[in-house]
Chain A
Amino acid sequence: MGRMMREGRGVVAFLTRRRGGGKIDVADILTYLCLLVGVLAMFGPVLWLVLSSFKTPASLTSFPPTLLPMQPVTMEVAGYPEPLRLVDVTFPDGTTRRLAQVRRVGIEVTMVDPTDPAGEIVLNINEVGRRPVEQVYFDTANYSGGVQSFAFFRYLRNSVVVTVVATLITLLINSMAAFGLSKYRFRGRDAFFLIILSTLMVPISVIMIPAFLVISKVGWVNSLWGVIIPGAATPTGVFLLRQYMLTIPDETLESARIDGASEWRIYWQIVLPLAGPALAVLAIFSIMWRWNDFLWPLIVLSHSELFTLPIGLNAFQGALNTQWNYILAMTVLTLLPITVVFAILQRYITTGIATTGLK
């Protein structure tokens, strides 16, 4: 964030500065223009969602939509029990007055001047221009109404449990396997590695039916374990960690053995810390996979108290009679946690992925 602040110091300075000094040329301007259009395309839809989620149901259905959430301005006028809507009325002679609308019958509309509430003014709507006065208003009713039927915190808890537990288990068993495959010589080692590698391209979508049978035999249908465990033995993770551990010299392990360290201690206290960068990358990937996982949880979970955020949101949007205003607000709630995490850790995440995508 600090970096962005510094960059935002002055728009002109920002736009004309370049790495390594030198003047800005046409190609640079074109580059920035394209990049900014890209930013609008990538982030605009999210921004539109957030703005829309604060609109009242009435303003959501108005077409064409307004950019900001708007609400009609009303005013208490002496002598009238209900607050009245303010309207800018343009008269045939070109003058404009801000009046409060009392009622409308057919083409006759009855107005009153809020500053002089004594006399009512009757106008023909065909003879005057009328524009309702509106103000920017962020309505939070969509959020308070939405959470009545969208158990956000329960889904969030389930998502966090699945993501954290699954990532820890993935890191543990993948790194153990990678350690075993890279630092020991035993019969069948290469065969094991090849079998794991061969499933690198076998996605859950190909084996969902028998995998569901296995899960139901184990008794994990409608259990978070059924979501967590099957995906934990990732071939990607084993491969990534094994390649990394191969670069750790065997002499390091040998000298620890001479000092009397057990094999477990060598793994836990020497190899794991040395494999830190690779573990971090696998952790990022695992968190991304698990947090956004959809097809497999959709198959395993059917009790709503076990839903993760994506499954809960899908059920919520698919439910009959669910209004767009609630869907929008709950979609914003769903994207909030990952957005906050990304805002804090974006540097680690983007560089982490960039460094391994190549391997």
Chain B
Amino acid sequence: MESVGRILSRPAAWLGDALDLLLGPLQRLVGTRRMGYFFILPNMLVFGIFILLPMLLNFAYGFTSGSSILLHNREYTGLRNFELLLECDLSFLNPGSGNFFNPNVCQYDRFWRAVNNTTVFVVFQVGIMVLFALVTALALNRKISGRGFFRSVYFYPVLLSPVVVALIWKWILQPQGVLNGLLTGWGVEPQPFLTAPDWARLWVIFVSVWAQMGFHTLILLAGLQAIPAEMYEAAAIDGGGLWQRFRRITLPLLMPTLMVVLVLSLIRAVQVFDQVFVLTSGGPGTATLYMVQFIFQTAFDQQNYGLAAAASLLLAAALLILTLFQLRLGRTSEIA
């Protein structure tokens, strides 16, 4: 690493000198204090054009209809897009329509299917992943040799492209794949892992836990190692058992880290897209259709930008609520 720094240092110095030559006059012109504006300018430009402006434009799309992506060709339709999204197609088939907590309601409606699927995915994926990551981090935090090796192996899938992850598992789970091979060896019927709705939902959760767990393990492990050893020594003198130590020392002191992990993984889970897109493409049927894929396909396959923008505004609202929830939780955990 140091040698890389040394090789880069000379061109970096030249570049610095060259820019200094250009920026000297600017500083004399605007004064030292206003150079602050200059320093934030490039970032604010990129930020303003590619993040802030789109955020505002999203409303313009959400409240207009038409197949053109150009705003002046679109027609203002008010809340129509939101109505279209929220109402149930074929609701006459569903006796209990109107009650969105009933999983049988709106089952023919792609949007509500996606909302439902995403909710179930988020709850199980985050729950299972944080639990696994915590257990792994606790195991790695014991006095063991080869910790670096284990840490790296668990982290490795995090670096793999979601497409690669999906293909690895598609190969394992296919009808003639190794998992079915093992099952046959044990005398169990081969299973339609990716073509039966319930199996597909389960494997989508498993694969994304597999791919992301290492990252959260790493953060939790760092949090565990920050707990001073004296705390445990004191507990050992008091004669607390393993579970007592975990409940009274580890868990409370790890709470801030656990909160970070929980929120990061929640926000990521809500946006689940790429692995699933390659692994099942949302299928079978709409069994693994999630919000982002719904938005993506509505916008770029069906050219229904208005409906897609309305859906992404709802997604943004969900993320906002999660964030506020986290801030609140963060406050209460500080008080506790």
Contacts and interface: CB of A to CB of B under 8 A. Distances in A.
B43 A233 contact: yes
Contacts of B92: none
Interface stretch (A81-89, A112-120, A121-129, A257-265): A257-265
Contacts of A211: 50-51, 54
Contact of B19 (A48, A215, A268): A268
Contacts of A17: 145
Interface in B200-226: 210, 214-215, 218-219, 221-223, 226
A327 interface: yes
A35 B51 contact: no
Contact of B154 (A38, A215, A288): A38
Contact of A216 (B19, B44, B56, B69): B69
A205 interface: yes
Given A214-B53, A230-B50, A262 B23 contact: yes
Contacts of A48: 168, 171-172, 178
A168 to B, nearest CB: 11
B38 A202 contact: no
Contacts of A192: 40, 44
Nearest to A181: B40
Interface in B210-262: 210, 214-215, 218-219, 221-223, 226, 256-257, 260-261
B3 to A, nearest CB: 13
Contacts of A107: none
Given A7-B149, A230-B50, A46 B168 contact: yes
A43 B158 CA distance: 12
Interface string A15-45: 0011110000001100110110011011101
Instruction: Please classify how large the interface on chain A is, using the bins under 10, 10 to 19, 20 to 34, 35 or more.
Output: 35 or more
Given A208-B295, A353-B219, A202 B161 contact: no
Interface in A148-200: 172-174, 176-177, 179-181, 183-186, 189, 192, 195-196, 199
Nearest to B147: A19
Contacts of B320: 201
Contacts, number: 322
A174 B43 CA distance: 6
A335 B37 contact: no
Interface stretch (A92-100, A132-140, A343-351): A343-351
A61 B222 contact: no
Contacts of B49: 214, 218
A111 interface: no
Contacts of B305: 209
B61 A210 contact: yes
A323 interface: no
B145 A314 contact: no
Contact of B46 (A18, A173, A339): A173
Contact of A357 (B164, B174, B222): B222
Nearest to A176: B39
Contact of A52 (B150, B152, B171, B323): B171
A317 B218 contact: no
Given A230-B46, A294-B163, A358-B257, A35 B172 contact: no
Interface in B9-66: 12, 16, 19-20, 23-24, 27, 32-40, 42-44, 46-47, 49-58, 60-61
A180 B47 CA distance: 15
B304 to A, nearest CB: 10
Nearest to A331: B167
Interface string A215-256: 110100000000001111100001000000000000000000
Interface in B267-316: 267, 271, 273-274, 277-278, 292, 295-296, 299-300, 305, 308-309, 312-313, 315-316
A207 B55 contact: yes
B273 A34 contact: no
B330 to A, nearest CB: 13
Question: Which 10 pairs of residues, A with B, have the shortest CB-CB distance?
Answer: A184-B36, A180-B39, A64-B181, A357-B219, A210-B57, A177-B43, A210-B54, A230-B50, A354-B222, A233-B47
20 contacts: A46-B160, A63-B176, A180-B37, A180-B38, A180-B40, A184-B36, A201-B319, A201-B322, A202-B51, A202-B319, A205-B312, A206-B316, A208-B312, A209-B61, A263-B39, A295-B273, A299-B296, A313-B163, A324-B171, A354-B221
